[in-house]
Structure 1
Amino acid sequence: MQKQQEAIIAGYLKKINEVIADIDGAKKQIDQLSLLRIGLFLSEILFFVLLLRSADDSLRTLIQFFLILPVIAFGIVVRRQSRLDRKIDYKKQLLWVYQNEWNILHGIANGYDHGKAFESEQHPYTSDLDIFGASSLFALTNRCSTKTGNMLLAKNFAEKSSRDRILLRQEAIKEITHKIAETYSFRANLHGYDPDKIEQIKMQLKSQLGEQLSFVQGSFMRFYVKLVPYIGVAVMLAALLVNSGFWKILALLVVVHIGWNVLLGQKINKVFYSFGGSSNLLNGYASAILWAENQNWKSSYTKSLLDSKNLVSKEIKALTKIIENFDARLNIIVGGVLNALLLWDLKCCINLDIWYKSSSKDVIVALDHLGDFEELISLATTAYNQPDWVFPVITDQFEFAAIHIGHPLIHEQVRVNNDFRVEVKPTVDIVTGSNMAGKSTFLRTLGINMVLAYAGAPVCARNMQLSVFSINTYMRIKDSLNESTSTFKAELNRLKMILDHVVKDKDTFVLIDEMLRGTNSRDKYLGSKVFIQKLIAEKTPALFATHDLQLADLITGHPEAVRNFHFDIQITGGEMRFDYLVKNGPCKTFNAAILLQEIGLKLDY
């Protein structure tokens, strides 16, 4: 597997170099076109000078013809240069995507959002299992640029799912993993834009645009705006060919048009500033949707995300064209002329209204579903980057069995993997051991892989089978000065939350690390004992990490409901060594005395 991942890294490096070469090539073409533009400008000046100096009518006619050629060529060059600029912008985003994957595989932080906004200490497990925030599961897997994608990924990590849904998502993620080479362009088309802007556009389409465009729904306005280009051409031809007095009529039309625009300016501005300047963003989103539309999807989960009968990418392209036309008003001279002669802003608003009534619903749904694709691609990319991870078997009977399971946030070179399985019936497994021996990491390893499994993702294990549980944890309990909550009170609140969940949901799986730290040792033991007995009575599976060896004796009274495991240390030449491997039975060796002795304190037993 090491060679396989090295090949993946080498593949990313190759793509990085290819994209850099493409960008350099495009920049050279732009430089060449810039020189060509200068040459065309100078040739236009030359032809103009020749025209002024020419006395021959036939030569003047020829020169006038040649005067047009640099202008046409200049326009073609500008368009070509504009396309190259867009290509470079896209390639830069694609470079970022490849570079980010290379970074992640080399232990550098993921450039996508790490999900700190989703952190909650009140959640049943996300805070304890490092699901959100820096150095979290979300930070490792997230490849979402949109707010919708980030929220969906967070939701699938934080909410219980059903077996059927998990299996459908596994199928979809596996399919995308096989298409992973094609997903990078999808991500590049979405990256680099302000996610708030697309949310603003979606909000406009959902609830505001129809009302804002009500002022262009009058039949007379629509008829006149449609007719006005023909009126303008007719009046100008009449002025040139019939009577110069028609220029006054044209001037009157211009005054009327300007007045009309000024009168409706506030309403026009409200529409424009919701969309203005977003053509590049929408082009990128349209390209991403086109990618999704062009795939021959087999997974029913993925197919359900493309439920429109129309090609939504074309509908967004049509919207983009309207917005690009609308953006002409940003140039005061061009916008002024177009509005004076053609009522350009009103024409754009009318076209937008027509588009809104025919296409907006499909586009809203498709823009939301982009987040679904991003979220699936996030987990598929993780599957591709980690070829030694496996998709777990989700069973419909009580089960949890894992072979060679490790913590996904610990680098492979230092990660220690363990085997673990539950009995046929629920048990409370008491895990004892020394400080730093690996108890807490082991509990988090099981929990975080369960979260991955229930999201439909692969897990950091050689093999894993499990049924669907509601995860509840008790690990990092903090006091709160703002809420005047002591550590002990915070612990009680957490215990109550777990007990409530255990009663409501019989499929709860509990992970507890050192319970009741905020009280004395006797109350801690008695409280832990009665809590374990409650879990046994409710037939709730649990792992209970503790330093209290007395709790291991509970197996005597509950031989079928309690199991003992431990993590130990090996002491060689006065030095401690940890293997971080879980073993059967209670712990016999502890390291507190050794650690205290190192700082000058000796215990007398």
Structure 2
Amino acid sequence: MLNTQAQIISDYSQKITDVSDRIDQTKKLIDQLSFARIGLFLAEILFFILLLNSADDEWRTLVQILLMLPVFAFALIVKKQSKLDREIDYQKQLLWVYQNEWNVLNGIPNGYDDGKAFESELHPYTSDLDIFGHASLYGLLNRCYTKNGKELLAKNLAEKPLKDEILARQQAVKEMQTKIGDTFDFRANLHGHDVEKIEQIKLQLKSQLGEQLSFVRNKALKFYVAIVPYISGAIILAAILFNSAFWNILSVYLLINIGFIVLRGAKINKVFYSFGGGSSLLNGYADAILWTEKYQWSSPYILALFKSKTPVSTEIKSLSKIIQNFDARLNIVVGTALNALLLWDLKCCINLDRWYQSSSKDVISALNHLGDFEELISLATLAQNQPAWVFPEITSNFNLNTKEIGHPLIAPKIRVNNTFYLENEPTVDIITGSNMAGKSTFLRTLGINMVLAYVGAPVCAEGMSLSVFSINTYMRIKDSLNESTSTFKAELNRLKMILDNVVSDKDTFVLIDEMLRGTNSRDKYLGSKVFVEKLINEKTPALFATHDLQLADLKNDHEKTLRNFHFDIQIAAGEMKFDYKLKQGPCSTFNAAILLKEIGLTLS
């Protein structure tokens, strides 16, 4: 049984409460550990005072042993606190994810990117149908945080797919929806990280790192770095057991090692600064990839995303560990000591090169495919949050049939649905009606739901079946001062684009809202008439919204290829009432006279 949207909102509220409680509990535990650290520090001071005041006997030996206990305990607590800090960071991201879903379902804008960067008035439909930008379809759908995910979602919303691709994506989205409860963990692992940093790491792995690490592939260098810890240990042991001469030898030896690092500092820095500080980020991405690996997926679309036979998450964890070790150089004291004793930076570079030779290609592919999972999760989340919406049937033969279809960006409380279908053969449908009666919204309702259908998502309808069309729209035509383009010239450019597309793609579907607004009424009618007849001759299905009743009269000359529909108004006691329902035939009631009267102008 499907949950209602009210139940879904309640479920998100409960999850928000649960995660908030876990965060509070974790914070209390961290505070307790902080007090324990203070206690251990005070205990260490006490033992040190006892050591200074003790005689050289068994008691002094016991104090020396006790002096080490707070140090070990302190180290364990620091490790535990670090783990809890990472856990609380993750829980905060998970809280954000749940809170964002609650927000979206309660009319608050989505916290993910709204796709404004992908806006283009030159695209055949994305600007007119509100696909990108503020209050857009992309803004409703997007749950992608990675660059690849956002670009892939934008690409699929803006391109005409093949039927088989749509069906494969539908199957993948439905499978993803069965795991929707776990997808929030996936999203939390990706959210909040530096997106540009991961892009930098991918670029480094793909085209730069191999060349940058070439300096550590010298066999003699590798051998020396491998034996350095043993040499250092031997000299230190000799210095402790024998005499001060070995301390002098150790000092010279450590200086030589520091010089060894300094001479290669530029090459080491070039490698480090592409990865430094990325350990936490890579751990998050590794956890996200591990999430994709742990399921036995069945849909071919998802299975095709896995290129490696070995778990890539393990490989990324290994890279993260190397980078975490490399980050030790950020502490000047620790880094200097490690380089002097172990040639630490060179050791990390050698380990990184060994990893690069065996794992980098699989990792790049897996990191890129995280975006594919994000995109599918975006669509599956829509399906989960809108249980009343349906997945459309995609047909091979010419078809568009809808039942109670509504605009997905209009709130359910005020949304008005309509039923509409095309005949078995293409027609041009003239839609007349008053201002504000719903003509433009209906055109956008059809168009935006077609885009949803083609991306593999559910649509805002009780039922929908359609074939694959190339959508072309003509709605918001603007002039351009920068390009010295008048409104009329902009309209002509748009018409030219549509005509070219109609000729090149016989599966074009056209949505036009009030054509040729930038010219006189006579030319507007004649231009609209010839354009309608061009579409009829090309057998191109179209919806043509207009105030011009003369266009409805074209039905007399094109009885089988032109249909009339309208949106009307009811006038009671001088007031207008709209029902926003599509009806057969041309409109007979208009509201211009009433609207003009309201501003003090009366038509005779």
Q: In 2, Cα distance between the equivalents of 1:407 and 1:476? A: 18
Aligned to 1:47: 47
Matching residue's letter, 2:42: L
Q: In 2, Cα distance between the equivalents of 1:82 and 1:241? A: 38
- Deviation (angstroms), 1:252: 2.1
Q: In 2, Cα distance between the equivalents of 1:362 and 1:33? A: 40
Q: In 1, Cα distance between the equivalents of 2:564 and 2:499? A: 22
User: Residues 131-176 of structure 1: CA distance to partner in whole angstroms, max 9, x if unpaired?
Assistant: 0001000011100111110000001100010110100100110111
- Is 2:515 aligned against 1:515? yes
Matching residue's letter, 1:365: S
Aligned to 1:466: 466
436-445 or 219-228: bigger deviation: 219-228
User: Residues 274-331 of structure 1: CA distance to partner in whole angstroms, max 9, x if unpaired?
Assistant: 0000111111000000001001211111111122111100000000000000000000
User: Residues 13-45 of structure 1: CA distance to partner in whole angstroms, max 9, x if unpaired?
Assistant: 000000000000000001110111111111111
Q: In 1, Cα distance between the equivalents of 2:246 and 2:221? A: 23
Q: In 2, Cα distance between the equivalents of 1:215 and 1:2? A: 61
- 1:402 alignment partner, SS class: strand
Aligned to 2:127: 127
Which structure 2 residues correspond to residues 51-90 of structure 1 after superposition, within 5 A? 51-55=51-55, 57-90=57-90
233-242 or 316-325: bigger deviation: 233-242
Q: In 1, Cα distance between the equivalents of 2:275 and 2:307? A: 26
Aligned to 1:226: 226
- Deviation (angstroms), 1:243: 4.5
User: Residues 172-224 of structure 1: CA distance to partner in whole angstroms, max 9, x if unpaired?
Assistant: 10111111100001000000012111111111111111111111111111111
Which structure 2 residues correspond to residues 367-386 of structure 1 after superposition, within 5 A? 367-386=367-386
Matching residue's letter, 1:49: I
Aligned to 1:261: 261
Aligned to 1:583: 583
TM-score of the superposition, structure 1-length normalised?
A: 0.99
- Is 2:477 aligned against 1:481? no
556-565 or 118-127: bigger deviation: 556-565
Q: In 2, Cα distance between the equivalents of 1:156 and 1:488? A: 31
Which structure 2 residues correspond to residues 389-468 of structure 1 after superposition, within 5 A? 389-468=389-468
User: Residues 351-393 of structure 1: CA distance to partner in whole angstroms, max 9, x if unpaired?
Assistant: 1111111110000000000000001001110110000000000
User: Residues 409-439 of structure 1: CA distance to partner in whole angstroms, max 9, x if unpaired?
Assistant: 0000000000000000000001000000000
Matching residue's letter, 1:541: P
211-220 or 406-415: bigger deviation: 211-220
Q: In 2, Cα distance between the equivalents of 1:415 and 1:151? A: 30
Q: In 1, Cα distance between the equivalents of 2:45 and 2:241? A: 32
Matching residue's letter, 1:310: T
Aligned to 2:594: 594
Aligned to 1:358: 358
Matching residue's letter, 2:383: A
Contact 2:383 2:389 in 1 (8 A): yes
Q: In 2, Cα distance between the equivalents of 1:462 and 1:227? A: 72
Matching residue's letter, 2:513: D
Aligned to 2:188: 188
User: Residues 26-68 of structure 1: CA distance to partner in whole angstroms, max 9, x if unpaired?
Assistant: 0000111011111111111111111222225111111111111
- 2:468 alignment partner, SS class: coil
- 1:577 alignment partner, SS class: strand
Aligned to 1:144: 144
Aligned to 1:535: 535
- Is 2:285 aligned against 1:271? no
Matching residue's letter, 1:389: W
- 1:267 alignment partner, SS class: helix
- Deviation (angstroms), 1:8: 0.3
Q: In 1, Cα distance between the equivalents of 2:233 and 2:254? A: 13
- Deviation (angstroms), 1:592: 0.5
Aligned to 2:337: 337
Matching residue's letter, 2:419: D
Matching residue's letter, 1:187: R
- Is 2:110 aligned against 1:113? no
Q: In 2, Cα distance between the equivalents of 1:340 and 1:67? A: 28
Q: In 2, Cα distance between the equivalents of 1:286 and 1:62? A: 46
- 1:42 alignment partner, SS class: helix
Q: In 1, Cα distance between the equivalents of 2:535 and 2:194? A: 48
TM-score of the superposition, structure 2-length normalised?
A: 0.99
Aligned to 1:559: 559
324-333 or 211-220: bigger deviation: 211-220
- 1:570 alignment partner, SS class: strand
Matching residue's letter, 1:563: R
Aligned to 2:91: 91
Matching residue's letter, 1:307: K
Aligned CA RMSD, in angstroms, stands at 1.1
Contact 2:216 2:350 in 1 (8 A): yes
Matching residue's letter, 2:97: V
Q: In 2, Cα distance between the equivalents of 1:532 and 1:5? A: 42
- What runs of 5+ residues in structure 2 fail to find an aligned partner? none
Quickly say closer, same or farther: Cα 1:3–1:267, change in 2 above 3 A: closer
Contact 2:2 2:387 in 1 (8 A): no
Matching residue's letter, 1:33: L
Q: In 2, Cα distance between the equivalents of 1:307 and 1:171? A: 20
- What runs of 5+ residues in structure 1 fail to find an aligned partner? none
Q: In 2, Cα distance between the equivalents of 1:2 and 1:554? A: 47
Aligned to 1:290: 290
- 2:79 alignment partner, SS class: helix
Which structure 2 residues correspond to residues 163-242 of structure 1 after superposition, within 5 A? 163-242=163-242
- Is 2:156 aligned against 1:156? yes
- Deviation (angstroms), 1:227: 1.0
261-270 or 576-585: bigger deviation: 261-270
Contact 2:3 2:387 in 1 (8 A): no
Matching residue's letter, 2:200: Q
Q: In 2, Cα distance between the equivalents of 1:227 and 1:38? A: 40
Matching residue's letter, 2:69: L
Among all aligned residue pairs of Structure 1 and Structure 2, give the percentage whose two residues are the same amino acid.
72
Aligned to 2:20: 20
Contact 2:433 2:566 in 1 (8 A): yes
